[in-house]
Every structure is written in structure tokens, then in C-alpha cells.
Amino acid sequence: MAGGSAPRDLGPTTSGVDAKVLAAVAYLIGWASGAALLFFDQENRFVRFHALQSVIVFGGLSLAWMIALSVPPFGWLVAVFVIPPVSAVLWLVLMYKAYQGERFHIPGAGDLAEQAMGR
């Protein structure tokens, strides 16, 4: 690990798979993989946080994309040139941070996920 810090034990998961791997998988297919992990792994708070954040962030981006497509022509430009690059950057950053064992918060979405879990 960078800086010589010891790996943290993030606790057991229902499936026995490493929590960091499952947290990264929560972002793999956007909100769908997050929703699946919310259903299948109800034991690990670290995994649940990332699964909830995935549903909130990528569900919101999916909704924004659908709304943008219904507003021609400016909305189409947003749907094609803004939302996909933002989604791709978030997808990569969130998967990386989760795999590193970080509880990385997207402003708003991370707070909402924490509140939904009951901190």
C-alpha cells in the first residue's frame, strides 16, 4: 500500500469475496450492479455504501440522460457530449477508489447513501 499503511480489514461479505472487490463490482454495470449487490450482500457496510452510491449516482445519470434526450436539440447535445464522458470518468474513479478500500463520497450522493444506511 502507498505510504506504508497496513491493509484494513473491511469485514466479511455474504459471498466470502473480498469487500474491496465487491465494492468495485458495485460500479461495474452502473446502477444495476449496485442494486444487485444491495440485494445479495446485506452484511458488509462498506459494500452496501458503494452499492447505494452506485444506484444513486448512475441511476441519476441514467435519468438525466433520458430527460436530456427528450429536450431537442440542446438536450441531445448534453445527452451525447456531456453525460457519457462524466459517467465514464465517475465509473473509473469510483471503481478505483472502492478497490483501494476508500469510502470515497460523491458530493450529495455519498451523503445520501450514508443517511440511507443510518450511519
Spell out the domain ranges in the chain.
11-117
Q: What is the pTM of this model?
A: 0.89
Q: Taking all residues of the chain, what is their mean pLDDT, rounded to a whole number? A: 92
Q: What is the model's pLDDT at position 119?
A: 65
In whole angstroms, what is the distance from residue 108 CA to residue 5 CA? 29
Residue 7 has pLDDT above 60, yes or no: no
**CA–CA separation, 48 vs 102, rounded Å?**
13
pLDDT in tens, 54-76: 999 999 999 999 999 999 999 99
Average pLDDT of the residues in 84-95? 98
